[in-house]
């Protein structure tokens, strides 16, 4: 039974008459569909009382620096921002001169889903490489890492990788290290888009620094919104010599929050020791990511071997990619929203979140099986 009672014409009855949606509805289109984690909302409420100095001179943003240092090492510099696109654009801007270019996978979010912001706002050239699983390798990077000194070509001076990738795959620490060593040897820096970095840590079962600071990543966009934050991400500068000007770029690009304590408080709730589980000792970011990954594994396991479902990528985080027979996806979307990944192949993407339940998965699996049988 839902706590809000009956829902009429899409509008719930009392005791929450202002609620405009059915809280029992679940979709599999994006982990962004999930609400904010209750512990995050509690952190915002706690930070809301009284006055704090604006624009980052508050107690929460100061503590955030220490929280990040515990996960990424001493010397890390943290810049809270509003969203992931802002984090990516600002981080890359701070790493490159005006003539610099970024080597990235063709599926990279900075190329496919940020409406040209790196080019139009950041003034950056993206050099995309086709990859089978969303992951770059030193050999793939070299397809575009050439032409230094050629005044007719944008200079490839940075590599951007996504962890986990847009195809749900995860880089191992050794794979990140190989990329970083290869890039650094060519005078290039390395940026990591960590929109789902928590899911990677849960999947690999290693500390965050194992595949970031210790693996040679220079600058990181740390994602929180897909893992239970209401809003907000952070840029973590892991190598201060690889980034310059973020203090000014953040304001210039409209990513400086006046009430920054509310972004910082959420990130502290996600990463801080106070959020550690009493039994496991795991902080909220890891608990939530492990659960989302487990729900994706449950979904895949339930459909593995089912006639008509062909999986296209390894399920290493909270996303499942599959090809369905003609018409099945459209009929399923009448009840469960999700995206086509590659319509020409009938490939779809199913995403799980920190609040996806086993019952949600079981209902969806039953619907998939019913449509396939029909």
Share of the chain above pLDDT 90, in %: 91
Provide the H-helix boundaries in the chain: 38-47, 59-72, 84-95, 109-112, 117-120, 138-141, 173-185, 197-204, 246-252, 261-271, 284-303, 328-332, 358-373
Closest CA to 156 of 166, 165, 147: 147
Share of the chain above pLDDT 70, in %: 96
**Share of the chain residues as helix, strand and coil, in percent rounded to the nearest 5:** 40, 15, 45
pLDDT of residue 5: 36
pLDDT of residue 6: 36
Q: State pLDDT tens for residues 330-366.
A: 999 999 999 999 999 999 999 999 999 999 999 999 9
Distances (CA, A) of 167 to 141, 243, 343: 18, 28, 15
Q: State pLDDT tens for residues 185-228.
A: 999 999 999 999 999 999 999 999 999 999 999 999 999 999 99
pLDDT of residue 280: 81
- How far is the C-alpha of 176 from the C-alpha of 170, rounded, in Å? 10
| CATH 3.90.1150.10 placement within the chain | 7-33+282-373
Does the domain at 39-275 match CATH 3.40.50.300? Answer given as no
pLDDT of residue 276: 77
Q: State pLDDT tens for residues 272-321.
A: 988 777 778 899 999 999 999 999 999 999 999 999 999 999 999 999 99
Q: State pLDDT tens for residues 27-39.
A: 999 999 999 999 9
Let me know if 29 is exposed, middle or buried by CB neighbors in 10 A (0-12, 13-18, 19+): middle
pLDDT of residue 279: 79
Judged against a pLDDT cut of 50, whether residue 62 lies above it is answered with: yes
Q: State pLDDT tens for residues 125-173.
A: 999 999 999 999 999 999 999 999 999 999 999 999 999 999 999 999 9
What confidence category does residue 16 fall into, taking pLDDT thresholds of 50, 70 and 90? confident
Question: Which CATH code is given to the segment(s) 7-33+282-373?
Answer: 3.90.1150.10
Judged against a pLDDT cut of 60, whether residue 55 lies above it is answered with: yes
pLDDT of residue 177: 98
Judged against a pLDDT cut of 50, whether residue 3 lies above it is answered with: no
């Amino acid at each position: 039974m839902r706590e809000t009672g009956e829902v009429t014409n899409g509008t719930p009855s009392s005791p929450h008459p202002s609620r405009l949606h059915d809280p029992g509805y679940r979709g599999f289109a994006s982990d962004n569909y999930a609400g904010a984690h209750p512990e995050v909302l509690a952190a915002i409420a706690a930070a809301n009382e009284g006055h704090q100095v604006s624009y980052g001179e508050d107690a929460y943003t100061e503590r955030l620096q220490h929280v990040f240092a515990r996960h990424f090492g001493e010397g890390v510099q943290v810049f809270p921002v509003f969203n992931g696109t802002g984090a990516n654009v600002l981080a890359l801007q701070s790493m490159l001169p005006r003539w610099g270019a970024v080597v990235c996978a063709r599926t990279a979010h900075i190329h496919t889903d940020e409406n040209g912001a790196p080019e139009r706002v950041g003034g950056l050239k993206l050099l995309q490489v086709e990859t089978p699983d969303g992951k770059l390798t030193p050999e793939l990077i070299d397809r575009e890492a050439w032409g230094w000194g050629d005044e007719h070509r944008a200079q490839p001076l940075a590599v951007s990788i996504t962890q986990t990738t847009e195809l749900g795959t995860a880089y191992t620490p050794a794979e990140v290290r190989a990329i970083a060593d290869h890039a650094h040897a060519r005078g290039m820096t390395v940026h990591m888009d960590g929109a789902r970095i928590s899911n990677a840590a849960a999947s690999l079962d290693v500390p965050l620094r194992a595949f970031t600071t210790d693996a040679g990543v220079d600058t990181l966009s740390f994602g929180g919104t897909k893992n239970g934050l209401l809003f907000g991400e952070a840029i973590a500068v892991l190598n201060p010599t690889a980034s310059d000007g973020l203090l000014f770029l953040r304001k210039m690009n409209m990513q400086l929050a006046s009430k920054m304590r509310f972004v910082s408080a959420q990130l502290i709730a996600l990463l801080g020791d106070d959020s550690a589980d009493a039994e496991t000792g795991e902080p909220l970011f890891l608990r939530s990511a492990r659960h989302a990954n487990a729900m994706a594994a449950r979904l895949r396991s339930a459909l593995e071997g089912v006639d008509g479902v062909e999986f296209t990528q390894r399920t290493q985080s909270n996303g499942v990619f599959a090809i369905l027979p003609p018409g099945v996806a459209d009929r399923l979307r009448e009840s469960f929203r999700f995206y086509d990944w590659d319509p020409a192949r009938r490939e779809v993407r199913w995403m799980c979140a920190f609040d996806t339940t086993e019952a949600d998965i079981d209902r969806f699996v039953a619907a998939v099986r019913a449509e396939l049988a029909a």
